Structure 1
Amino acid sequence: MTPGHLSAQHYACLYSWFAGLFARELDDAQLAQLQSQDVARWFEHLAQQPTLQAGVLAARNSIAALALRRDARLELAADFAGLFLMSQNNAALPYASCYQPDQTRFNQAACAEMQILLLQAGLERDQAFREPEDHLAICLELLSHLSFAVSENSANLAACLALREKALTLLMSWLPTFTAHCIEHDGFGFYAAQSQLLLAIVGLDWAQF
């Protein structure tokens, strides 16, 4: 195994973690976790992959800057709302439909595509998460589920790998533009940095196919 190699289980954990970052405003427990030794060790592991080094550095720096920010949780909540909950202008809405040729929010085709993937994976959208299926967090939870299935050598391994490739391809069709919008519109830079690292990880994963 090469240094910094990411297994399917690594990807499963990473996708689940990023889903939590982009699903809703961070709470105090999540902020404390970001500054924990566990996350620092994750970054050390990820940084052994050359294509992830720039993203890891950006993520590390953004987390270090939180310690210098007064009322960091409230300020991050404001950043989250401004980036992900407002209009498309000066924002980075986390929906696949916003980055399709027909940029209609909650585009039915984008949601339908994700609905099919979720159905094929045997998943249902969490009713407590009141967002359409093309939300970034749902895409990442799907990838986490499929990655865990692959890591467990499921009897349906070939089907899981095929679904995983489809989900990665769908995500990579809009994640670069989403990340560019985060970088452009996130003044403090926390979510811009996390999206940079996420894009690098998804790209590394996708390159395996």
Structure 2
Amino acid sequence: LGLAAETARLRAALMALHTVPDAALELAADFAQLFLLDARGGAPPYASAYEDENAAAPLFGAAAARMETFLADSALAIRDSFREPADHVAIHLAVMARMVEQNADTADYAAAAADEVTFLRNALLGWVPRFADRCRRARPRFDFYPALAALMLGFVLADESLLIELADLGT
């Protein structure tokens, strides 16, 4: 998929943590800095945080409502044990994984690929690049989360390219 640079960066981030006493505590501090504390200086993992670059979009607003509608229309639900809004990045990635699983045995791979591209573009690619950039710009003590966000972005972009090829092969 061409993710060597992103993978090497994540590996280096993990190796840097390997020598740190209380690495789990340090990662928890970075997690809080990036994802829990200041939404403006951090990198909230919610699509709604990136709705409007020129205004302070309310968290859990239109993006969360769109994802809730998509989930309901797709007969999917968020587990009660997952206590995050529908626009959390994990929900988007789980839906994408579910689509891949459901489409694995389809005869019409081009249509399935086109559906997956549409979802990627509508649900992830509109905000994940800015999320990854904000992870980087927040400058946590360790590069683990920014590297992971960069790998996720690289994967989503590579997946989009591959799916476009598959969709085009069927036409």
Global fold match (TM > 0.5)? yes
Distance 1:157 1:108, change over 3 A: farther
1:87 counterpart (32, 38, 44): 38
Q: CA RMSD in A?
A: 2.0
Do the aligned residues in 1 keep the contact of 2:17 with 2:142 (CA within 8 Å)?
Answer: no
Cα distance in 2 for residues equivalent to 1:89 and 1:109: 18
Query: Residue 138 in 1 paired to residue 91 in 2?
Result: yes
1:97 counterpart (48, 59, 74): 48
Which residue number corresponds to residue 153 of structure 2?
Answer: 199
Distance 1:123 1:156, change over 3 A: farther
Cα distance in 2 for residues equivalent to 1:125 and 1:64: 34
2:43 partner letter:
A
1:107-186 to structure 2, matched below 5 A, reads 107-153=60-106, 160-169=112-121, 170-185=123-138, 186=140
Distance 1:127 1:115, change over 3 A: same
1:121 partner letter:
S
The percentage of aligned residue pairs carrying the same residue is 36
Do the aligned residues in 1 keep the contact of 2:34 with 2:43 (CA within 8 Å)?
Answer: yes
Q: Which 4+ runs in 1 deviate beyond 3 A?
A: 155-163
Do the aligned residues in 2 keep the contact of 1:55 with 1:196 (CA within 8 Å)?
Answer: yes
Do the aligned residues in 2 keep the contact of 1:179 with 1:196 (CA within 8 Å)?
Answer: yes
Question: Alpha-carbon deviation of 1:58?
Answer: 0.6
2:10 counterpart (51, 54, 59): 59
1:97 partner letter:
S
Question: Alpha-carbon deviation of 1:79?
Answer: 1.1
TM-score, scaled relative to structure 1: 0.69
Where do 5+ consecutive residues of structure 1 fail to align?
A: 1-48
Cα distance in 2 for residues equivalent to 1:107 and 1:121: 20
TM-score, scaled relative to structure 2: 0.83
Q: Cα deviations across residues 8-60 of structure 1 (Å, max 9, x unaligned)? A: xxxxxxxxxxxxxxxxxxxxxxxxxxxxxxxxxxxxxxxxx33x121111111
Where do 5+ consecutive residues of structure 2 fail to align?
A: 165-171
